[in-house]
Amino acid sequence: MTSLRIALACGFALAAATSSFAQGAGDNSCILAGRLSDEARWAPRLAGVELLGQDGRAVTSADKQALSGVRQVRLAAPALLSRCDGNGQLALGPDSPGAKAPVPAVGPGVVPVESVSFPKLRRGGEMVELKLNVPAERVTMVTR
């Protein structure tokens, strides 16, 4: 009976976290596609993230104009959703990693892209950040 209660409590917690994330996902619906060097080259491009244009063709160029035309992303594995930084400089994180905990992610498959931005890194280069239009049923929780 106790294991059933624990399973139900975990299920309710996951459902609550997923629905609250989906309702307030406006600023927490971004993923990273990779990093651009100062010379506007992929350095690196994240594996399992394929950028697609309006026509569904792969966008492989590191040119910002080409990247701004990305309208979909194909994910081979779940991708962690994060706060959108836009074109501003990335915030500093904590000095040490926190405890492992469930975090929101978008599951594999094709997801519409609302916009592409390029947050600047402190030591040169920029990240390629994709703001996604994530349907609530595609949000899952993963432990990181």
What confidence category does residue 93 fall into, taking pLDDT thresholds of 50, 70 and 90? confident
Mean pLDDT over 89-100 rounds to 76
pLDDT at 24 over 90: no
What's the whole-model pTM score?
A: 0.76
Rounded to an integer, what distance in angstroms lies between the CA atom of residue 74 and that of residue 66?
17
What pLDDT, in 10s, does the model give residues 53-74? 999 999 999 999 999 999 999 9
Task: With beta carbons less than 8 A apart as the criterion, state whether 32 and 127 touch.
Answer: yes
Residue 16: what pLDDT? 41
C-alpha distances out from residue 101 to 27, 82, 144, Å: 20, 14, 6
Mark residue 58 as left, alpha or beta (left: phi above 0; alpha: psi -120 to 50; beta: remaining): beta
Q: Which residue has the higher pLDDT, 102 or 93?
A: 102
Task: With beta carbons less than 8 A apart as the criterion, state whether 65 and 55 touch.
Answer: no
Tokens encoding 77: 């594995």
Q: Where are the domains of the chain?
A: 2-143
Which of the 8 DSSP states describes residue 101?
A: -
* Percentage with pLDDT > 90 across the chain: 58
Q: Which residue has the higher pLDDT, 119 or 6?
A: 119
Closest CA to 81 of 43, 16, 38, 28: 28
What confidence category does residue 48 fall into, taking pLDDT thresholds of 50, 70 and 90? very high
Residue 8: what pLDDT? 35
Residue 90: what pLDDT? 65
